Amino acid sequence: MGNQIIQTDNVESEELHYIEAGWDHPSGDSGRYVPIGGIHSHIGSEKDPRTQNPTASNRDLLSFVGDDCQLFMLIELHGKLFLALKTNSTPRNLDPKTLQRRIGSLTEEFASSGSKVPIIDEDRLRFNQQIALEYGLSLYQSSDAEPDLLKRLPLFYS
């Protein structure tokens, strides 16, 4: 797997920052080492309503769902955790352009007030749940009351 450029928003300064994420293989038998998941944190102001709960960004979802080797993704924001796990239902060998188009169309559908601005908190969680339904993921999230305990998120509401 080659290096990927991941774009993140710094909400406080409203500037874009880029992080290069790559897998460093130990020297020698690099074919024996396979990345199985990613752990990272998101930044954001605790006062900003767009960044209150950890969820996966579009870039996170594209790189996670589109990578057959990765089985989990763990994200931290303000001491709270978000975990996405692949299941037997997660499709393999997805076409990257098809995945990008689908995530893009869902972004437009879920974006607040119909614009292409970043999807905010509750809508962002529902957006992640919709992706989980379509791509066979299980989602878990911690709470302020129990920051070390991840509880499974429902994907259906009655």
Residue matched to tokens 């997660």: 90
Residue 25 domain flag: no
Q: Domain of 100?
A: 4-20+34-143
Structure tokens at 84: 């996405």
Domain count within the chain = 1
Q: How far apart are CA 105 and CA 97, in angstroms?
A: 12
Q: Are strands 4-10 and 15-21 parallel, antiparallel or unpaired?
A: antiparallel
Query: What does pLDDT average to over the chain?
Result: 77
* pTM recorded for the entire structure: 0.74
pLDDT per position as a tens digit, 46-104: 666 556 678 888 889 998 999 998 999 999 888 889 999 999 999 999 999 999 999 98
pLDDT per position as a tens digit, 135-153: 999 999 998 888 889 999 9
Distances (CA, A) of 91 to 50, 97, 103, 123, 153: 30, 15, 15, 24, 20
Residue 149 domain flag: no
Q: How many CB atoms lie within 10 A of CB 133?
A: 13
Nearest Cα to Cα of residue 127 among 142, 114, 140, 111 = 111
